[in-house]
Chain A
Amino acid sequence: MSNLKERFLKGEKLEIELYDIHAHIGKFNRDYPVFAGDIEEILKEMERINIKKAIVMPLGVYGAEWFYQNEKLINDCKKYSEKLIGFCLINLNFPEKVIEKEIEGCLKNGIKGIKLIAAYQNCQDLEKKTEFVCECAHNYKVPILNHSWQSPEFLEKMVRKYKNVHYICGHFSFVWKDIVNNYENVWLCTCNYLEFGVVERMVEEIRNDRICWGSDFSDLHFGFTLGPILLASIRDEIKIKILGENTKNFIKNVIKQE
């Protein structure tokens, strides 16, 4: 049995540094009460789990009051800049001018990337609007984490056209496999409901330096996303890459430093 697996099952401290590519702050969600959602409580929980840094986005992803949610994000990320890297929430239902202004304003205030989740916002004209955001991200040279890139064909079109952008697939699926394997600037978050045996297949079929653990806190329980990686039948050094090193590299090489 792998050392990490054994130690995790025994409830022992893992002593590995975690870097989280997909997380949320903001304290409220439509679907459920957010338990212990205050930013200070979240930071305490990050400390307990040993998360060194997390890429965070607003939690109220449905899009109401997205400017207000981005403002809250900016304030929290400024206050806790050593732990949090903010990606602003974009509501694709709004006109392009408004979207561009919001992106510009957020980036001026320390936000480092863009989060898209149009599927939750019942957005029409999805590809056109998404492409507009990709163009903005290309101009500003910032990454985008998208809940879903619609289709591999669409993602590949964006990757080839807007080369300054690093693209994060926000939720794991094998549909992104070829694009992640074929392009340097595409990253894959592990977060999703995982079928039995998927993690082993994932590391076999997808380049291991682009698979990044995403906890999706404060939406999902830490154990729900950590358990499948730590208990998988894969080598410990791959687990360490997925849980920390890959996102650490992403932050070092892609995120603009102050």
Chain B
Amino acid sequence: MDFFDINAGIGIFSKPTLYTKPEQLMKIMESYSIKKSIVYHSLSREISPIEGNEILLKEVKDYKNLIPSFVIFPENSGDIENFEEYIERSIKNGVKFFRIVYNTFRIPLSHYFYSGTFEIINKFKIPVIIDPTIPFKWEVDSGDWQSIRLICEKYNELPIIFTEFRTRYHIRIVIDFLKNYKNFFYDIGSCWNYRVVEKLVEIRNGENLCIGTNLPFSDPGQSIGMVVASDISENTKRKIAFENIEKILNKNE
């Protein structure tokens, strides 16, 4: 089975990891049958999206199976002069996904909503990955569901992909979101609960599920294992493992 990973990092993080370079990630991907990965840069995730994003583009330019995603600040944050121009230029440079890691920068997700950030992203219809996890803190149930609800409701054609280190209690909320928002996508690698994959595929036939490994931190066998060992049809496994996210990507090509 082939996999499309929505959550992998490259670069040097604040603590040592087993790989840093794209070529090393490619080797790991090959070993786990991961054909494509949506990647971000360590500098973007932990300190400086503006510089990290530029480094990411340079690093992955020769690897067509590494899909660049830019970490973004909200509009008017003071980090860039013209937010809309930045977004437009990023897309022209090959960025296929944006990523919001609001807890790292201590900016409420609601501020991204009220500052008009999503208004601009929505113009370009570029999918957004929301990840509240701060690397190495590994907190559980960090989603800001009130803000995600606002975003999903107002921009109901914009794919919102949620991933986090671990969803445990909040799975009761995730089920409701998957039922109510067709633009809400969920990384099943985030929830480790018993038979959770089997339960979630009952909603929209698993069309809104995808998989993230959280490399270089987590053992990819955990999320991959959840797809492979699930009691669901091979067809649905393929959708979660690869096709659902490929469909989102192709829409923007």
> Which residue numbers of A lie inside 8 Å of B, CB to CB?
1, 8-11, 31-37, 45, 48-49, 193-199, 217-233
The answer on a CB contact under 8 Å between A196 and B194 is no
Q: Hey, which chain A residues are within 8 Å of B194, CB to CB?
A: 34-37, 217-222
Whole-angstrom distance between the Cβ of B36 and the nearest chain A Cβ: 16
Q: How many A-B residue pairs have CB under 8 A?
A: 125
How many chain-B residues does the 8 Å CB contact rule pick out?
39
The answer on a CB contact under 8 Å between B225 and A227 is yes
For the complex with contacts A11-B1, A196-B217, 18 further pairs of A-B residues with Cβ separation under 8 Å are: A8-B228, A31-B168, A32-B168, A33-B171, A35-B193, A45-B195, A195-B217, A197-B18, A197-B219, A221-B196, A221-B229, A222-B225, A224-B225, A225-B225, A227-B224, A228-B219, A228-B225, A231-B224
The answer on a CB contact under 8 Å between A224 and B18 is no
The answer on a CB contact under 8 Å between B193 and A11 is no
Residues in B101-124 with C-beta less than 8 Å from chain A: none
Q: Which of B59-67, B230-238, B244-252 contacts A (4 or more CB under 8 A)?
A: B230-238
Q: Hey, which chain A residues are within 8 Å of B230, CB to CB?
A: 221, 223
Known pairs A193-B218, A199-B219; A35 contacts B198 (CB<8 A): yes
> Which residue numbers of B lie inside 8 Å of A, CB to CB?
1, 17-18, 31-33, 138, 166, 168-169, 171-172, 192-199, 215-231, 234, 237
Q: Hey, which chain B residues are within 8 Å of A223, CB to CB?
A: 197, 222, 224-230
**20 intermolecular pairs with C-beta atoms under 8 Å apart:** A9-B33, A9-B224, A31-B168, A31-B169, A34-B194, A35-B194, A35-B199, A49-B229, A193-B222, A197-B219, A198-B219, A220-B194, A221-B230, A222-B194, A223-B226, A224-B192, A224-B225, A225-B225, A227-B224, A229-B221
The answer on a CB contact under 8 Å between B228 and A221 is no
Q: Hey, which chain B residues are within 8 Å of A229, CB to CB?
A: 221
A220→B192 CA distance, assembly (Å): 6
Q: Hey, which chain A residues are within 8 Å of B234, CB to CB?
A: 11
